[in-house]
Amino acid sequence: MSILMLIKKACRLGGCVRSFVLTRPAHLSFSSSNMAKSKFEYVRNFETDDTCLRNCYIVVRLDGRNFHKFAEQHKFTKPNDNRALGLMTRSARSVIEELEDVVIAYGQSDEFSFVFKRTSNWFKRRASKFMTHVASQFSSSYVFYWKEFFGEQPLLYPPGFDGRVVLYPSNRNLRDYLSWRQADCHINNLYNTVFWTLVQKGGLTTAQADERLKGTLAADKNEILFSEFGINYNNESALHRKGTTLIWEKRDETVTKRMKVPNQEEKDMAVTRSRKRVEAYHCDIIGEQFWEDHPDILEDDN
C-alpha cells in the first residue's frame, strides 16, 4: 500500500491527521554517495591519477615566486637578511609540525625542500595533495609570522610560492638531491657575498661588480674577498654558507610541577620528560658525519 493511500485511510478513520511519522523501510535506505549521483558526475573522469609510486621518498620543493622583486620592495638586507631567513625557517617548521611524516627539510634563500618518508600514506600519496597542502601551510605561515621577524615593517603584498613534487627511490638519490641543494647554496652565497662586498665596500656599481665577477671560479672569489677586503669566507655565518636543515629530535625537557606527596603538603617538583621537537642545524649534509649522527632519518633500502 502506498504512503498516500495510508494517509487517506488514516484520515477516514480519525477525521484528520495532524502529525505522523514516516519510517523508511530498510530496503529503501540509500547512502549519501547515492544521493550525490547526478548526470554531471561524469566530469570526474577527467581527473588524472597522480598517485606517487610506493617505496619512494616524496620531496616537495617550494620556491619564492618573483622573490627578487619581493626582496627589493621589502628592503631586504644584502647579501643576506637574517629576518627573512628566520621567517622562512619558521614557516617550514610550521609545515613539519602540521605534517609529521616529513623526516627532513632543507632550505636556503627563498626555497625549502620537504622530504616525506617512504612509507607515508598521507592523502593516499596523491602528488597534488602533498604539494597544495605544503604550499598553503607554508604561505599562510609566512604571512602569519611576518610581524614576529619584521616588527612594524608592513607586508606590502602577499608572497607567492610555487612547488613541485619529485620522487627519489633510494637513500643515495635522496642524499644526492639534498647535496645538490646545499652545493647550490654555497655557490649562490659565495657569489652574492663577493658581489655585494664589491658594491657596498668597493664602491662599484652593480653592473661593474657583475662584470668583475664574470668567468671567476670559487678560488678567485675567495681571493677577492681576502686580498681586497680582509674577509675569510669560511668565517662567514654557517646559516648563510650551509643553509638550514630541520629534523625531528627527541629532547629531554625539565619542567616544574606542583605535586601532592602522600602524607605531605603540595610542593614544587622537577619532572623530566622526553618530547619530540623540530630542531635546526646549519651544518654540512654532503659528507657522512651528519648522517652518522642522525641514523634514524633514512629508511633502509630494500
Helix (H, G, I), strand (E, B), or coil: what is residue 245?
Answer: strand
On whether the CB atoms of residues 7 and 20 are closer than 8 A, the answer is: yes
Question: What residues contact 131, with CB distance under 8 A and at least 6 apart?
Answer: 60, 163, 164, 165
287 annotated binding-site participant:
no
If one counts every other C-beta atom within 10 angstroms of the C-beta of residue 117, the result is 17
Q: Which amino acid is at 30?
A: F
Residue 195, classified by CB atoms within 10 Å of its CB into exposed (0-12), middle (13-18) or buried (19+), is: buried
227 annotated binding-site participant:
no
162 annotated binding-site participant:
no
240 annotated binding-site participant:
no
63 annotated binding-site participant:
yes
189 annotated binding-site participant:
no
Residue whose entry in the numeric block shows the C-alpha cell 603540595: 266
What does 110-172 look like in DSSP terms, one character per residue?
A: TEEEEEE-TT--GGGGBHHHHHHHHHHHHHHHHHHTHHHHHTTS---S---EEEEEEEE-SHH
Q: Which amino acid is at 71?
A: A
What are the binding residues for Mg(2+)? 63-64, 110
Binding-site entries: 63-68, 109-110
Give the residue ranges of the annotated binding site for GTP: 63-68, 109-110
